[in-house]
Amino acid sequence: MRVKKACSFTLVLMLSISLLAACSPVNLSESAQVKGEQSNSLGGKLVEIRFPWWGNVVRHEKYNKLMDMFEAKNPNIKVIREPGSWEDYWKKISVQTIGGNAPDVLMFTTVGQMPEYEDKGALLPLDKYIENGSIDVSGIPEKVIELGKYKGRTYMITKGLAALSYTVNLSLLSQKGAPLPKNEYASWGEFIDYLKLIKPKLGKNEWGKEIYPLADMASDDLYMESFMRLKGKDMFSDDGRELGFSKQDLVEWFTLWQDLKKLGIVPPAKITAEEGTLQWEQDMLASKRIVMSARPGNHIKSIMKYMSDELTLIRLPGDNGKFGEVLTGAFLGISAQSKHPDDVAKLINMWMTDLEFNKLYEHEHGIVQNENVVKGIQLDPGDQLSLKNMKEVMSTTKPQKSRLPGVASIFDQVKKSYDEVNFGEKSIEKAADDIFTEANRVLRKQK
């Protein structure tokens, strides 16, 4: 699944300090204060706010149009646009925040970046803007607002949301004469029975390579979190001092995937390592190496642009009516260093409430959550599937808790340990021990 994770703020902090030390002496905080206000053509004060974002060229073009529209409706505000790649975004805002030159607008996802920044005092709470109506969330479900809270305060609000789900190639299944999947499976056992049923029918793709029913994503932390939530457990304990699941739970998770590999349901380790991290245009779903893979539901719209096959979304397996899928998306927050937080709030509010703005936005980062706005937008087929799936998930699961700051190395260890298991270099039990050792080191160090 192509769900990328940001680097730990703490780790980047160390790198950033060395980078700043190597630069020519300059008072970045002072520089930031000088910038930000000019005179506009009407003779008034023209306020500048900086907005970085991640994405490709297509997204950059769309966001530039969005900012043009915002400026047209707010002629006293000029948005300084700072587009970049996913990797560059996180490096840049970390260095700038440490240097006292943070952008005014900050974007996050649900995998733990926001708590990292809040713990460093780098974010403003949004509660006062919500309470006075500057940021109108009246059309947004309370469950969704909860995703942006940390330590009882709201620090980010989503501008697009999706649920973790399976993207399924229906055309490939039909072509091979295999039965199509159900939308929901009552248990992992029932889901695996379906995968075992279709495996013998799949054969090879047009390039003569074996087709597998499912991608091996045992080391994906969102997928693992969904499994633990299915068991009624969270990723971390309430006091934040340890993982919220047991070592046996982790052994069960890794064992499940190793059993699927033995059955030929997921690819061997070598194929997963070589083909599992390719870009969407070349990944195992696009090359018909697999029938389905788990990823955020909003990805289906982009995948449909380069695959002519009929695709759909189905839910992750449940447990006799219980489900555990996590929600993911893109969120907006305000830097504590911003000299113009009220103006940033206007931009966030436009994303929350403005129909014309969101028609241009086209659910770029997932489904917009203001139900009144969504009703006024014509959804494309991919967004229709994503919206349906997300509503099903939200009706049966509670929002996941915020990730703790400084935990990126735990999930790095999960990936490293599972790779060692997958290639036969380490037992599942020893891998679980290593992960819990790293988790204990990180979590207890922070207290």
| Residue 26 domain-assigned (yes or no) | no
| Residue 27 domain-assigned (yes or no) | no
Dump strand ranges (E) for 263-421. Answer: 290-296, 311-314, 327-335
pLDDT beyond 50 at 31: no
Q: Under DSSP, is residue 220 helix (H, G, I), strand (E, B) or coil?
A: coil
Enumerate long-range contacts of 418-425, CB under 8 Å, 24 or more apart: 418/218, 418/219, 418/254, 418/257, 419/219, 419/269, 419/273, 421/254, 421/258, 422/216, 422/218, 422/258, 422/261, 422/269, 422/272, 423/269, 424/269
- The predicted-structure confidence for 389-441, as pLDDT tens digits, reads as follows 999 999 998 889 888 888 889 999 999 999 999 999 999 999 999 999 999 99
Helix (H) or strand (E) holding 65: helix 57-73
Look at the chain and report how many structural domains it folds into: 2
- What band does 239 get if pLDDT is binned at 50, 70 and 90? confident
| Pair (208, 155) in one structural domain | no
What is the distance between the alpha carbons of residues 112 and 202, in angstroms, rounded to a whole number?
38
| Pair (265, 199) in one structural domain | yes
| Residue 19 domain-assigned (yes or no) | no
| Pair (61, 136) in one structural domain | yes
| Residue that terminates a domain, selected from 357, 380, 396 | 396
User: Of 303-312, 332-341, 401-410, which one has max mean pLDDT?
Assistant: 332-341
| Residue 13 domain-assigned (yes or no) | no
| Pair (157, 298) in one structural domain | no
Helix (H) or strand (E) holding 431: helix 428-445
CB burial of 194-210 (b: ≥16 within 10 Å; e: otherwise) equals: bbeebbeebeebeeeee
Q: Which domain holds residue 244?
A: 163-326+402-444
- Supply the CATH number for residue 112's domain: 3.40.190.10
Residue indicated by tokens 């607002």? 145
pTM (two decimals)? 0.86
| Pair (60, 196) in one structural domain | no
Task: Indicate the pairing of strand 77-84 with strand 45-54.
Answer: parallel
Let me know if 244 is exposed, middle or buried by CB neighbors in 10 A (0-12, 13-18, 19+): middle
| Residue 311 domain-assigned (yes or no) | yes
